């Protein structure tokens, strides 16, 4: 009898250890932080994307459709920006420079586009050059089809890998049971292209009948964070779950991330979506958030300017309005910290070429974190 009680105790302890992650994640509030925030650009409503130009100026997209060039302390509106479908979560979205921008001048922009025969909009990506504060040489690289008047899940973030491939994300556009698991349809995917929009011949679904061959991975819900891991060169995403179940994933060629067949989240109404959190042939996240923080923007910190931050990732929280720092050991999240509480919805975060961290907050603007 004594033995079996001991065995049960042992089992409980072992079982707890064997669970990869607690259902309710722990988040710490640090007593002091190695920076003080300074509002660098004020008067912005939803600063969605930002890109640092070599001259030290900054390009910022406003979801409403404005592209702002912040130079010498002034905000200048860039003209000839594509028409955006400013509805729900759609609008002017991410912006990123070509890795060889200094030589070729290409700027990449994602946005919700109303183009096409069907009413509504869907995510598109263009590249263009900046000349006299106007976008010129605009080239449409990809446009998801069909348009829909639904307001959710456009994605989208843009990132280049070490080999110069262009990755961008498109959310499932409110059609979770239709789009994410079907590789012949757009939405709920991460795409990979050459920098000029051509589809690489070694993309995973080239040769698959009917497939959208720009797809690199599928089964995503709404990825609004995409970044290159500076150590491994891998592309990492994070994506919004429903109620609970936001995820961080490492993006692998041709892989299925499971939405909506597996998830750690439930419907907004509290009813289950599925009872499965894992399935054969589907990827597991390296981290998930319950409850949802509603992540947007992701940056790997490589600078040593902030005590203890090197190697961490920073993620914005829309739902709880703070900047989250995740300390990693390889691919395992060891610790979570809440920063910049109560300033507003954190839409985006980036480490600038000057090694400083820039944070975009809705209703406020762009903050620079000045190291102490």
Name the DSSP letter for residue 12. Answer: H
Report if residue 46 touches another protein, rule: CB under 8 A.
Answer: yes
Report if residue 345 touches another protein, rule: CB under 8 A.
Answer: yes
- Quote the least distance from Cβ 182 to another protein, whole Å: 21
- 296 vs 312, which CB is nearer to another protein? 296
Going by C-alpha positions, the residue among 255, 271, 273 that lies closest to residue 263 is 273
- 122 vs 321, which CB is nearer to another protein? 321
- Quote the least distance from Cβ 11 to another protein, whole Å: 37
In whole angstroms, what is the distance from residue 243 CA to residue 265 CA? 5
In whole angstroms, what is the distance from residue 49 CA to residue 226 CA? 12
- Of 85, 142, 154, 191, the one binding another protein (CB under 8 A) is 85
SS3 231: coil
Strand-strand pairing, 322-329 and 92-97: unpaired
- 91 vs 180, which CB is nearer to another protein? 91
Beta bridge partners of 39: 367
- Of 52, 165, 300, 320, the one binding another protein (CB under 8 A) is 320
Q: CA distances (Å), 339 to each of 9, 31, 89, 108, 242, in order?
A: 38, 10, 25, 30, 24
Site for another protein in 111-140 (CB under 8 A): none
- Of 41, 61, 63, 263, the one binding another protein (CB under 8 A) is 63
- 87 vs 338, which CB is nearer to another protein? 87
SS3 8: helix
Stretch that binds another protein, among 1-9, 87-95, 122-130, 274-282 (CB under 8 A): 87-95
Report if residue 73 touches another protein, rule: CB under 8 A.
Answer: no
Name the DSSP letter for residue 5. Answer: H
On whether the CB atoms of residues 51 and 67 are closer than 8 A, the answer is no
Stretch that binds another protein, among 51-59, 197-205, 244-252, 315-323 (CB under 8 A): 315-323
In whole angstroms, what is the distance from residue 154 CA to residue 140 CA? 17
Express the helix, strand and coil content of the chain in percent, nearest 5 each: 5, 40, 55
- 180 vs 365, which CB is nearer to another protein? 365
Site for another protein in 249-268 (CB under 8 A): 268
Q: Which position among 98, 153, 220, 287 bears the catalytic label? A: 153
Report if residue 151 touches another protein, rule: CB under 8 A.
Answer: yes
Going by C-alpha positions, the residue among 162, 263, 183 that lies closest to residue 170 is 183
Report if residue 344 touches another protein, rule: CB under 8 A.
Answer: yes
- Of 28, 39, 64, 198, the one binding another protein (CB under 8 A) is 64
In whole angstroms, what is the distance from residue 59 CA to residue 105 CA? 13
Site for another protein in 154-213 (CB under 8 A): 174
In whole angstroms, what is the distance from residue 100 CA to residue 307 CA? 31
Decide if 220 is catalytic: no
Tell me, by CB under 8 A, how many residues bind another protein. Answer: 25
- Of 117, 207, 270, 281, the one binding another protein (CB under 8 A) is 270
Report if residue 150 touches another protein, rule: CB under 8 A.
Answer: yes
Going by C-alpha positions, the residue among 224, 335, 265, 61 that lies closest to residue 324 is 335
Report if residue 300 touches another protein, rule: CB under 8 A.
Answer: no
DSSP string, 200-226: PTTSTTTTSTT--TTEEEE--S-EEEE
DSSP string, 247-307: EEEE--TT-B--TTTS-S-B-TTS--S-S-S--TT-PPPSEEESS---EEEEEE---SSST
- Quote the least distance from Cβ 148 to another protein, whole Å: 10
- Quote the least distance from Cβ 179 to another protein, whole Å: 15
Stretch that binds another protein, among 79-87, 122-130, 197-205, 254-262 (CB under 8 A): 79-87
- Quote the least distance from Cβ 217 to another protein, whole Å: 24
Q: Which residues of this chain interact with another protein, rule CB under 8 A?
A: 45-46, 63-64, 85-88, 90-91, 150-152, 174, 268-270, 294, 319-321, 344-345, 362-363
Instruction: Show which residues are catalytic.
Output: 153
């Amino acid at each position: 009898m004594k033995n079996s009680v001991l065995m049960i105790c042992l089992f409980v302890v072992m079982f707890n250890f064997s669970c990869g992650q607690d259902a309710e994640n722990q988040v710490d509030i640090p007593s002091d932080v190695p920076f003080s925030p300074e509002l660098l650009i004020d008067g912005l409503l939803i600063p969605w994307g930002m890109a640092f130009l070599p001259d030290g100026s900054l390009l910022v997209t406003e979801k409403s459709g404005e592209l702002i060039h912040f130079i010498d302390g002034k905000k200048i509106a860039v003209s000839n920006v594509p028409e955006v479908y400013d509805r729900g979560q759609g609008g002017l979205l991410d912006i990123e420079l070509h890795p060889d921008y200094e030589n070729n001048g290409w700027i990449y922009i994602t946005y919700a586009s109303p183009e096409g025969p069907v009413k509504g909009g869907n995510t598109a990506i263009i590249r263009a050059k900046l000349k006299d504060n106007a976008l010129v040489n605009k080239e449409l690289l990809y446009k998801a089809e069909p348009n829909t008047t639904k307001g959710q899940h456009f994605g989208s973030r843009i990132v280049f890998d070490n080999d110069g491939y262009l990755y961008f994300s498109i959310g499932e556009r409110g059609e979770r049971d239709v789009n994410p698991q079907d590789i012949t349809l757009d939405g709920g995917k991460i795409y990979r292209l050459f920098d000029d929009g051509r589809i690489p011949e070694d993309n995973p679904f080239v040769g698959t009948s009917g497939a959208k061959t720009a797809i690199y991975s599928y089964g995503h819900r709404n990825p609004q964070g995409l970044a290159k891991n500076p150590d491994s060169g891998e592309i990492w995403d994070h994506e919004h779950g429903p109620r609970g179940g936001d995820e961080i994933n490492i993006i692998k060629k041709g892989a299925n991330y499971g939405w909506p067949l597996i998830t750690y989240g439930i419907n907004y109404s509290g009813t289950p979506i599925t009872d499965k959190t894992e399935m054969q042939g589907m990827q597991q996240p390296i981290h998930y958030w319950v409850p949802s923080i509603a992540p947007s923007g992701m940056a790997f910190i490589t600078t040593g300017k902030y005590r203890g931050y090197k190697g961490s990732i920073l993620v914005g929280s829309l739902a709880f309005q703070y900047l989250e720092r995740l300390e990693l050991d390889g691919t395992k999240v060891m610790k979570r910290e809440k920063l910049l509480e109560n300033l507003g919805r954190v839409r985006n975060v980036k480490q600038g070429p000057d090694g400083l961290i820039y944070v975009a907050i809705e209703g406020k603007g762009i903050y620079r974190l000045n190291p102490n």
